[in-house]
Amino acid sequence: MFTQPIGVAHYLVVGAILFVCGIVCMTTKRNTIGILMGVELVLSAAILNFVAFSQPAFRVDQEASLGIDGHVFALFAIVLAAAEAAVALAIALNYYNNHSTIDVDRAQDLQG
């Protein structure tokens, strides 16, 4: 029954599911933490796709590439996600200290 090896299509399906879950989370949540969780899910889907497309079946020039291009992009995306989470949580905590809420709809005074 489960004799087929896991291929790139399986990773892409999981990445698509993660992406859709992240978009739904970003659009339905009304607080900052929920929106940040949705953004992290979307970034995780992108990272999974980078790693899936770095598989040997997708490499054009087998000799010139080590096959870690997708992994390097994934590493940069992980660093970007960590920096984004740190800055966004700092903004959310600062807003909570000033207004006693993290409701996104009540954050009208952040407009510049």
CATH number for position 73: 1.10.287.3510
**With contact defined as beta carbons under 8 Å apart, do 43 and 90 qualify?**
no
Predicted local confidence at residue 35, as pLDDT: 87
What is the per-residue pLDDT across 27-44, written as a single tens digit (0 to 9) for each?
A: 998 787 888 889 999 999
Tokens coding 70: 């997708």
What is the per-residue pLDDT across 77-95, written as a single tens digit (0 to 9) for each?
A: 899 889 988 998 888 888 8
Predicted local confidence at residue 54, as pLDDT: 81
Q: Is 77 helix (H, G, I), strand (E, B) or coil?
A: helix
The CA-based angle 82-56-4, given to 5 degrees, is: 100
- Domain assignment present for residue 1? The answer is no
Kindly indicate the confidence band of residue 26, based on its pLDDT and cuts at 50, 70 and 90. very high
**Which domain, by its residues, includes 71?**
9-107
Task: Write the DSSP symbol of residue 31.
Answer: B
Average pLDDT of the chain to the nearest whole number = 82
pTM higher than 0.85: no
- Domain assignment present for residue 48? The answer is yes
Q: Is 87 exposed, middle or buried (0-12, 13-18, 19+ CB in 10 A)?
A: exposed
C-alpha to C-alpha distances, 29 to 8, 41, 88, 103, nearest whole angstrom: 31, 14, 16, 10
- Domain assignment present for residue 18? The answer is yes
- Domain assignment present for residue 2? The answer is no
